A and B are shown apart, each in its own frame.
Chain A
């Protein structure tokens, strides 16, 4: 299977550990992973802030870079949702504006082949036990796009439950947004911070060591809030689910 990793611009620049974890995990599961170097950004931040016309060239570029792969794996619910849910919409809007079918046709090939990581593991590879070992108490935050756009359901929980040594504890108010929301975090920073603080409080009430999610953008906001609250705060860390699933007894991560 020829699988491409779309790491996302945020992970590439700020969270390379997540990328290394995905490569390690997929390789362990017998998947041959490629990282096409011409990849950059799916255009989500542009699109969601209202710059649809700036997002279009990035969507076209994404499609050109990834169209020949059998599957595109994305360790980010929101970037996967951008491709799957919003690329078709970009095409529709161009059509409605009298620009014809060109954009829709150019973007169509990548849409059904793009998978969020946990979705790829459970639906495409058909595994829930990925052979991981992670001896910590973990609480899981389902991010909004994973939850409501991609409908990941309990796939991430299935994967986490099969990790040896891991104790999964329920997060109160799990389905509430953490308050990141891309540029929302800056444009409405007071509301965003209040939402983040509540998320951290809820996570702390579980007594978990680690809060995990499938999207580093949300983790950047939650983790940044935790860090500001001090080192004694629990959970002490915000970790991407890929890093937990990649972790083994021989090579424990974090």
Chain B
């Protein structure tokens, strides 16, 4: 029942809508600024932060470089521990596998936790189509699901909602899906949490099938790792008889020891905690504890293609801490939905157009959803140079070029709608390559400066709608330089020499 992101409009128009919603802007501003300040404090406690960041980057790069080998190692280790590994090339295949596995259990209800990968592939909708109800158990996911909404943040999917809105959603919707909200529910955090706890407990105790994601997979031991704050994940991971984990292949790290780094950097970057309240790790099955059957679905869905791109592949290092969202001035104002994907914010702006390609309007607009201020790169605990990838993807949008799609090399044509811009860029480049032409243009503009309108036509209107234009000076600098040097030297300026050498 969660809404999907299919057919989203381009980023600027989606952002415009969000900007006009004062409640949303207030909620977002308050939440991001609070987490932002706390994160800075938690990070500054560690004097080896820079070294940890570098180590995190290296571990992930090493894993990605030999991903084929580590994935096979992972499969072997999981199998040896009593689990079953499935490989899914795309969303359809993953949905088919999971739906088949659930159907084989004969159950029609599943509990879910911590899985952006399943949202990426639209698993809930696929299950629903087969008569299987999937219940989200993460508190924020529950709010999103009950509200028939879409997630808008990596870590706090309901960040766009305030307490009053959440109370209304609980009161209105909970009874449809199980235990109703208590009478006279208030909007205090304690009461809201209690209502969710009671509602969810029934689901946990009844569910025979759990579906999860994972923050990490350790190739060496075949272990999966989930970081969480509420303990609901642990319920999902231990109570059901069957556990199905759907995990993107880039979540792999080579060794158990590698977790040492991420156990420090992930909680501090995401929730500003020294350590997150629950870290669950599971390896295959055991006779006397936990699920009796364990399936791991390894999801590609565009990741191998992304790995083929020299500049863009660093996006796969992401550990989904959401620090980049919380510092991003664009995310703060546009809101998470404008990014048209389960991955919003700066990381979404570089991940979605790589995983999905740049063919749709929204995906072609995402690389431009940034002022390139660089705040995201600065906070990223695995040092993903998001601005670099944004510019790289802009190039792909306007110039096309070679990419890998479903394993095959293809040459993209430039996206439509950039013809006028391309012509303007070429013309500007031509003028800048001919200083004489630039000078003539400047003189012309200075001569006509009294005619400069207050509002511009065409794309310039976007500027003058909210900002005045600077007044054109009577004389560009180079005219002044030439004139004054000429006077000083009492002779013709040497300036014309070499001015048009190209």
Of A16, A40, A50, which is in contact with the most chain B CB atoms at under 10 Å from its CB?
A: A50
Cα-based distance from A40 to B465 in the complex (angstroms): 29
Flag whether B257 is at the interface (Cβ < 8 A). Answer: no
- Near B by CB (< 8 A), chain A positions 31-88 give 35, 37-41, 43, 45-55, 57-58, 61
Flag whether B391 is at the interface (Cβ < 8 A). Answer: yes
A190 x B12 contact (CB < 8 A): yes
A84 CB to closest chain B CB, in angstroms? 14
List chain B residues, Cβ under 8 A from A11.
477
Q: A14-B472, A19-B477 are in contact. Are A40 and B435 (CB under 8 A)?
A: yes
Q: Which of B370, B442, B459 contacts A13 (CB 8 A)?
A: B442
A190 x B394 contact (CB < 8 A): no
A37 x B496 contact (CB < 8 A): yes
A16 x B473 contact (CB < 8 A): yes
Query: Of all chain A residues, which has the CB nearest B393?
Result: A50
A-B contact count (CB 8 A): 197
- Report A182-212 CB contacts with B as 1/0, cut-off 8 Å: 1111111111111111000000000000000
B502 x A181 contact (CB < 8 A): no
Q: Which of B334, B422, B498 contacts A38 (CB 8 A)?
A: B498
Query: Of all chain B residues, which has the CB nearest A33?
Result: B481
List chain B residues, Cβ under 8 A from A196.
466-467
* Interface size counted on chain B using CB atoms at 8 A: 70
Main secondary structure of the interface of B (DSSP, over half): helix
Flag whether A235 is at the interface (Cβ < 8 A). Answer: no
List chain B residues, Cβ under 8 A from A185.
462-463
B375 x A190 contact (CB < 8 A): no
List chain A residues, Cβ under 8 A from B435.
37-40
Flag whether B368 is at the interface (Cβ < 8 A). Answer: yes
Flag whether A9 is at the interface (Cβ < 8 A). Answer: yes
Cα-based distance from A23 to B482 in the complex (angstroms): 13
B378 x A20 contact (CB < 8 A): no
List chain B residues, Cβ under 8 A from A57.
429, 433
- Near A by CB (< 8 A), chain B positions 452-470 give 459-460, 462-463, 465-470
- Report B411-444 CB contacts with A as 1/0, cut-off 8 Å: 0000000000110011011011101001000100
Of B370, B371, B422, B428, which is in contact with the most chain A CB atoms at under 10 Å from its CB?
A: B371
Flag whether B329 is at the interface (Cβ < 8 A). Answer: yes
Flag whether B447 is at the interface (Cβ < 8 A). Answer: no
Q: Which of B378, B438, B467 contacts A193 (CB 8 A)?
A: B467
Query: Of all chain B residues, which has the CB nearest A186?
Result: B462
List chain A residues, Cβ under 8 A from B39.
none
Cα-based distance from A58 to B426 in the complex (angstroms): 11
Of A20, A149, A190, which is in contact with the most chain B CB atoms at under 10 Å from its CB?
A: A190
A46 x B428 contact (CB < 8 A): yes
B75 CB to closest chain A CB, in angstroms? 33
Flag whether B445 is at the interface (Cβ < 8 A). Answer: yes
Cα-based distance from A221 to B462 in the complex (angstroms): 12
- Report A167-190 CB contacts with B as 1/0, cut-off 8 Å: 000000001110111111111111
Q: Which of B11, B16, B422 contacts A51 (CB 8 A)?
A: B422
Flag whether A225 is at the interface (Cβ < 8 A). Answer: yes
B371 x A51 contact (CB < 8 A): no
B477 x A20 contact (CB < 8 A): yes
Q: A12-B476, A46-B425 are in contact. Are A144 and B374 (CB under 8 A)?
A: yes
Cα-based distance from A147 to B372 in the complex (angstroms): 12
A164 CB to closest chain B CB, in angstroms? 27
Q: Which of B425, B470, B480, B497 contacts A220 (CB 8 A)?
A: B470
A237 CB to closest chain B CB, in angstroms? 12
A227 x B468 contact (CB < 8 A): yes
A193 x B480 contact (CB < 8 A): no
Cα-based distance from A190 to B496 in the complex (angstroms): 43
Flag whether A100 is at the interface (Cβ < 8 A). Answer: no
Flag whether A96 is at the interface (Cβ < 8 A). Answer: yes
Query: Of all chain B residues, which has the CB nearest A175?
Result: B375
Flag whether B188 is at the interface (Cβ < 8 A). Answer: no
B330 x A54 contact (CB < 8 A): no
Flag whether B499 is at the interface (Cβ < 8 A). Answer: yes
Flag whether B491 is at the interface (Cβ < 8 A). Answer: no
Flag whether B369 is at the interface (Cβ < 8 A). Answer: yes
Flag whether B163 is at the interface (Cβ < 8 A). Answer: no
B19 x A191 contact (CB < 8 A): yes
> Mind listing 17 A-B residue pairs with CB under 8 Å?
A12-B478, A20-B477, A35-B478, A40-B435, A43-B432, A48-B394, A50-B396, A51-B425, A54-B425, A61-B433, A148-B374, A176-B375, A179-B329, A182-B372, A190-B15, A191-B333, A191-B334
Nearest 8 interchain pairs by C-beta: A181-B371, A50-B394, A224-B467, A177-B373, A189-B462, A16-B477, A19-B477, A193-B466
